[in-house]
Chains A and B, each alone.
Chain A
Amino acid sequence: MAKSKKIAEIAKKTSSFCPGCGHGVVIRLITECLEELGQDKNIIFGIGVGCSSLLGGVLETDRLHCLHGRAGAVCTSMKRVNPDNIVVAYQGDGDAYSIGLAETTSAAYRNEKFTAILVNNTNYGMTGGQMSNTTMPGQKTTTSPMGRDCAITGNPIKFPELVADQFNAAYVARGAVNTPANINKLKGYIKNALEAQINGEGYSVVEVLSPCPTNWGMSPLKAMERIENELIPYYPLGEFKTREVK
């Protein structure tokens, strides 16, 4: 008989994500990791604007709904003044890579010692599926109705690669929530990121490829297939910077 896993104490409230949305899985993984690491009563979240903000209603923890894009700045100071707390920025791609690109990149650049979990669903979910900096070439959104034309919009941004290549961050990875195997791997990445923070090693970030069936206009199953067939080839999964644990 399959064993049902226990939901973390701090995330028992019901959420209001669309059926088949990836956010719920990511939140569950984060809260499970926090509990397993004994940090669930020692955690502050800086939550972004967008569907990620629905996380705020779920959690029974210290959390601040940050202004659109600014969680990187807010978490910077939260961690600096409360170095013994675990601080997690939870944001969408529109939040972290468009309006908040400066705050996100600068926090990574300064190697701030918090963890960023950045949920990439290749659009602005909450506002009805507009193009974001991670929208795929040719992807139709409400503001790229003919499909994203990268000749005039630039190429989809790869934040983890940028951080791993250029900055002195502690831990950088990209995971996905499309299959049980990937979900398990993602959990490992999130745990590694949190451990990097617990050990004061520096900035840790995990980008998560996550489905938005509602705005992609797909069934949840088709959305998972899109991640496998279209997103992963462009946004490769794995650890780009692993921890040098001495």
Chain B
Amino acid sequence: MGDMIKGNEAIAEAAVRAGARLYAGYPITPSTEIMEYLSWRMPEIGGTFVQAESELAGINMVVGGAACGVRSFTASSGPGMSLKQEGITQLYDEELAAVVINVVRYGNGIGTLHTAQCDYLRETRGGGNGDYRTIVLCPESIQEAVDLTGLAFDLAEKYRTVATLMTEGALGQMMEPCELPEFKEVKRQPWGFDGKYSYKKVGIFDRDSMKEAVLLNEKHDLIKANEQRWEDGDIEDADYVFVAYGLPGRSTKGAVEQLKAQGHKVGFIRPIIAWPFPENAFAKVNPNVKGFITVEANATGQLVDDVALTVKKSMKSDIPVYCLPYVYGIPAMKAIQEDFVKIAAGEIKEVY
């Protein structure tokens, strides 16, 4: 077992070890320690750190670094992530590889400082203009955050796209023992700008979007086929299957253990990658399951839509899908158990 380390700092160090050599960003709680850490760490290892004048500038600096083939990334939260959508859609459009970290906090507009999962729909759908998705990785622990940070850079380059590490305020702020990965050799992408015009990218005025659309769908199909990741437990004979990711996913696993000890037939699916959604996980679920239950830290229920769509796609469409949205924070195992009893008793209605 490794040393105790704070989530945000572990993520920053993991990015450095994964070969990231450009960070540009603007401070916002609860993500700020990532940039503070990199303000000394990047120069120490010969990388580039820029304290940008805004999130818009920060993500556009990532665009510049990524265009030169350098592993580049930024981090933010709520309102800052809204500003970054502009650059994210461009990174995707130019097929540039980059990583964006959202340490999610609760709220619309300027938001609050509470830890939450209210950006699920934005991160999995893409909040900027156009037709795009980013690969979205959502860790439940600091160790997993570290592992997924390295994976995020690898996947971004493999598919020439943006990978989003969608973590939560509490995970960024808490400390856990963690094993950091070895240093990766720093490699530049061969297609990055070198001033010699060896990578001939056409500008938007010469493009054929009809042809690009076909390629774009092929790429998405490939990502969907290859990159579904999840953890599951006891779903083959469950009456009810919980679906939750991140820190609520972790407490849901605990609640499932306790419910099983009380004799309930329950299981869980914890998406580790939220886009592409782990549809394959649902193939193993008991065909006679009585319902799916999402556990979420947001107000309206967001993950529940993907679960309902997946149930419709891969199972009988009349299986009820319930949602337990706990607004912000990490739902307590006790609360999840109590609400489960209400669902089983018909006191909480299904969403779909």
Contacts and interface: CB of A to CB of B under 8 A. Distances in A.
Could you say which interface size class chain B belongs to? 35 or more
B53 interface: yes
Contacts of B194: 62, 82, 85
Given A63-B203, A80-B22, A70 B197 contact: no
Contacts of A63: 203
Interface string B54-65: 101110111111
B96 to A, nearest CB: 9
A102 B203 CA distance: 25
A81 interface: yes
Contacts of A41: 195-197
A63 B204 CA distance: 12
B21 interface: yes
Interface string B91-129: 000100000000000000000000000000000000000
A218 interface: no
B195 A85 contact: yes
Contact of B21 (A54, A78, A81): A81
Given A57-B206, A85-B193, A76 B199 contact: no
B308 interface: no
B61 A73 contact: yes
A130 interface: no
B203 A53 contact: yes
B8 interface: no
Nearest to B69: A81
A57 B68 contact: no
Nearest to A49: B204
Interface string B176-195: 00000000000000000111
| Among A10, A70, A106, residue most surrounded by chain B Cβ atoms (within 10 Å) | A70
Contact of B67 (A60, A67, A78): A78
A66 interface: yes
Contact of B65 (A54, A61, A65, A77): A77
Contacts of A103: 53, 56-57, 60
Given A54-B205, A64-B201, A77-B48, 18 more contacts: A41-B195, A44-B193, A53-B204, A56-B204, A60-B197, A63-B203, A64-B67, A67-B63, A70-B56, A70-B57, A70-B63, A73-B64, A77-B68, A78-B64, A78-B193, A102-B56, A103-B56, A106-B53
Interface of A: 10, 41-44, 46-47, 53-54, 56-57, 60-67, 70, 72-78, 80-82, 84-86, 102-103, 106
29 contacts: A41-B197, A43-B195, A44-B68, A47-B203, A53-B203, A57-B203, A57-B205, A57-B206, A63-B203, A64-B63, A65-B203, A67-B90, A73-B60, A73-B61, A76-B50, A76-B57, A77-B50, A77-B63, A77-B65, A77-B72, A78-B64, A80-B65, A81-B22, A81-B48, A81-B64, A81-B70, A85-B194, A103-B56, A103-B57
